[in-house]
Structure 1
């Protein structure tokens, strides 16, 4: 087994929610992946709010999907 040393600031350590100084590579990848996923979701929510998409109903969403599928199959 090989070891690597990684230095991050206290702020980054806390921001990632780390609670121990020794992690496996898989644990680190999982933690960073969750952080990236959360950031992406937050950005998506902001964009949906900004564009008004967060206010459309499920029925409107389904209608848009049907219209797109119909247009795609008719082309």
Structure 2
């Protein structure tokens, strides 16, 4: 005899969040409703973008952005030899 398969219903909650016009535009929000997971994705993407820009600025300050591929490979090799 087969066991019936029951799907559990997930309870959804609704929250209200006040957000400035600049943040509304920054996160490219389009309407009144958004799934929480989509909001988290949009905010995470913006944080990742900001982090990438900061890393790029640091790389330029310490002149990593001017290194050639050969120089980068030599640095990697030196670190690997130091660790070993």
**TM-score of the superposition, structure 1-length normalised?**
0.92
Kindly state the Cα deviation for residue 6 of structure 1 after the two structures are TM-superposed. 0.7
Q: Which residue of 2 aligns with 1:21?
A: 32
1-side partners of 2:33 and 2:19: how far apart?
A: 13
1:45 aligns with 2:56: yes
* Uncovered stretches (5+) of structure 1, i.e. residues with no partner: none
Q: Which residue of 1 aligns with 2:5?
A: none
Aligned-residue CA RMSD (Å): 0.8
Mapping for residues 1-75 of structure 1, pairs under 5 Å: 1-73=12-84
Task: Find the structure with the greater CA-based Rg.
Answer: 2
Which structure shows the higher helix fraction? 1
* Uncovered stretches (5+) of structure 2, i.e. residues with no partner: 1-11
2-side partners of 1:41 and 1:32: how far apart?
A: 14
**TM-score of the superposition, structure 2-length normalised?**
0.82
1-side partners of 2:40 and 2:57: how far apart?
A: 26
Kindly state the Cα deviation for residue 62 of structure 1 after the two structures are TM-superposed. 0.9
Kindly state the Cα deviation for residue 53 of structure 1 after the two structures are TM-superposed. 0.6
Kindly state the Cα deviation for residue 4 of structure 1 after the two structures are TM-superposed. 0.9
